[in-house]
Chains A and B, each alone.
Chain A
Amino acid sequence: MYDTIFSMELPVGEHIKLLRNRISNTEDIKNSSRMSIVTGIHGDEMEGQYICYELTRRIENERDKLKGVVDIYPAVNLLGLDNAIHTIPKERLDMNHIFPGSPDGSMMERVAYALIEDIAGASVCIDVHGSDIFTRESLQVRINEEFAAGLMEYAKLMPANLIWKNPCPSVAASTLVHSMNCIGVPAFTVECGVGNTINTKYGDRIVDGIFNVMKYFGIWEGEAVHHDDTPVCDDSSIDFMRADKAGLFINSMNKFGRVKKGQCIGKIIDVNKNEVVQEIIAPNDGILFTVREFPMVYEGALLARILVQEVEK
């Protein structure tokens, strides 16, 4: 059942709304385990939209197995999604930098605050992101180092390619998951794909993981989906490969996975001079899990990330 949990009037004949799809077989919400799935904080990340659809479809197919409450927030940055813009369109602010929001702040700060208030008390919260349009990401769980110990057992339920403990922007202070963890709701981020597209294979795996988490919290009585142990890493165990030169990045890797030290990941070419200005070579054996998607690069642009060493299993 879709509820409007927050609404504000835009200037010309429209309201901005924060919608929640609540799926439950019980009226006793307060005493039930509750999972919150949030998507659409960034308007160019579409992966979560498919996940909302697929999760709902699979629950409805076996509705009698649902023993708790699943709350889905499909479009938090509604205007960003509608315009395929990463940020809040008018202010050009990253919405994942304004949590926990404010009851008397700007319109989107109020949306952020309303979301936090609505999720408060949940058993667990998963914030589903896609990547932006610049890099392609393999399926990963991101957790803030500050809360990593308490989140690890939930993160490991996701059939991801890696679990990354880091203070990167998607899990740092002023993000949704940080704010939720601060008020006692275990929360982590799932990230995959590339901006403005949907990868249904990743989407299906994320939904599998969501069912695993639901089962862990007694929200779902179906079977768990088994998967291999997921490597866990932090920033110290990742090679970050960035552009030293401006130009066009030509990707040599057509899939994620193991790479050998010395293997060519791609090259940067200067179209004007018709020459290769930088070859991107893997400095170590490892697992490629991020690669540049948008060809044009300036010095500093992220080209690839390679997991070179696991912190723990």
Chain B
Amino acid sequence: MRQVEVFRIKSPYRDDMVVHGYTFGKGQEAACIIGSMRGTEIQQTYICSQLVKRLVELEHNGNISANKKILVIPTLNPYALNTSRKFWGVEDEDINRAFPGREMGKTNERIAKRLMDYVKDYTFGIQFASFYVDGEFMPHVRMMDTGYQNTSLANLFGLPFVVVRKPQPIDTTTLNYNWQNDMTAAFSVYSGYNETINEERAGQSVSAVLRFMTRMGILRYDCLSGYISHVINEESLTNVYAGKGGILRRLKDIGKEVKYGEPIAEVIDPFVGEVKETVIAPTDGIIFFQQREPLVNESDVIYRIVRRIHE
């Protein structure tokens, strides 16, 4: 393992924000893995740290393929992690809304540009990303429908789901979108957690990335085959909304199968404790996403369901 400095940002008062990468193997730039960009992405940082730990062992045992180089950058935003802020710096800018970045742009655009310049030659790009709503996902690989996406490759991670998202204007400034436009095969891996560490899911994510790199000939590593992923378009998911505001009581957990018409959640009156609404499953299927916050607004998405599949 070699520690490299990807870039450095100076602060008026704090230590320099040094973004480190860790490289394994030599030669062709094969896979780049990126952890957190937001201060709330603690699970993502943790996954990368565990990946680095495993890669140290694998490199020591000679399991990195010849002429293959791997780069892991656990975090692009240590400042935000250290202050429990979501975004970067005093201007509170989202790094993952600044790609492809500009050399002479705002600070977050410069960070994005420096990262893109540093990693542009890697064949595969993997990011541990987060969703803007605080909730829990089934582990999946997410890709933007840019026309360059390859769901067959995403299958090789062996996670339960591959999700293809039709990009909205707001998505065009993300790393994943711009990586793909730059002809890097880009994948976002969602372990399902952000601000809390879930060891089981973290381990699953590390294994998924090692499995992918093995299947792409970057590593020599014996591992289980994982899942044959179920590929879904994000727009085919059925959203289940709260019809009233209040305290959410979930009756079903993520990954569980639900039946059409079955009660799956309740919204409780915060003053008198009565059930204001019983939320009913609008379809058969499996819960892919669940809201984690205890308070819900009217119209908040409580669950997202993959329709008509069974456990």
Contacts and interface: CB of A to CB of B under 8 A. Distances in A.
Contact of A300 (B106, B246, B296): B106
A149 interface: no
Contacts of A98: 170
B69 interface: no
B12 A270 contact: yes
B10 A134 contact: no
B110 A104 contact: no
Contacts of B168: 174
Contacts of A298: 9-12, 89-90, 107
Nearest to B276: A9
Nearest to B243: A9
Contacts of A301: 91, 106-107
A9 B245 contact: yes
B170 A296 contact: no
A61 interface: no
Contacts of A12: 245-246, 270-271, 295
B245 A8 contact: yes
B284 interface: no
A185 B87 CA distance: 34
Interface in A243-276: 245-248, 270-272
B299 A296 contact: no
B297 A11 contact: yes
B148 interface: no
Given A9-B245, A300-B110, A106 B301 contact: yes
Contacts of B170: 97-98, 174
A236 to B, nearest CB: 14
Contact of A271 (B12, B87, B110, B239): B12
A11 B247 contact: yes
Interface string B105-140: 111111000000000000000000000110000000
Contacts of A16: 297
A246 to B, nearest CB: 4
A302 interface: yes
Given A8-B245, A12-B295, A300-B109, A107 B300 contact: yes
Q: Specify the main secondary structure of chain A where it touches its partner.
A: loop
B106 A104 contact: no
A8 B11 contact: no
Nearest to A178: B169
B41 to A, nearest CB: 13
Contacts of A228: none
Given A245-B10, A298-B9, A299-B10, A13 B110 contact: no
A272 B245 contact: no
Interface string A27-63: 0000000000000000000000000000000000000
B298 interface: yes
Interface residues of B, number: 39
Nearest to A16: B297
B86 interface: yes
Contacts of A92: 86-87, 92, 132
B241 interface: yes
Nearest to A247: B12
Contacts of B89: 298
A248 B270 CA distance: 47
Given A246-B11, A299-B107, A91 B246 contact: no
Interface string B225-261: 0000000000000010100111100000000000000
Contacts of B91: 134, 301
A134 B168 CA distance: 28
A110 interface: yes
A61 to B, nearest CB: 40
B104 interface: yes
A183 interface: no
Nearest to B38: A92
A110 to B, nearest CB: 6
Contacts of B108: 300
Interface in B82-100: 86-87, 89-92, 97
Given A10-B297, A299-B107, A173 B169 contact: yes
Interface in A99-126: 104, 106-107, 110
Nearest to A109: B299
B81 to A, nearest CB: 16
B133 A294 contact: no
A106 B300 contact: yes
A91 B132 CA distance: 6
A177 to B, nearest CB: 13
A273 to B, nearest CB: 11
A106 B299 contact: yes
Nearest to B105: A300
Given A104-B239, A300-B109, A11 B296 contact: yes
23 contacts: A9-B245, A9-B297, A11-B297, A12-B246, A13-B271, A16-B297, A92-B87, A97-B170, A104-B239, A104-B241, A106-B133, A106-B301, A107-B297, A174-B168, A174-B169, A272-B13, A296-B12, A298-B12, A299-B9, A299-B110, A300-B107, A300-B109, A301-B106
Interface of A: 8-13, 16, 86, 91-93, 97-98, 104, 106-107, 110, 134, 172-174, 240, 242, 245-248, 270-272, 294, 296-302
Given A9-B244, A11-B246, A97-B169, 15 more contacts: A9-B246, A12-B270, A13-B270, A86-B92, A92-B92, A97-B97, A172-B169, A242-B104, A245-B10, A246-B9, A246-B11, A294-B90, A298-B10, A298-B12, A301-B107
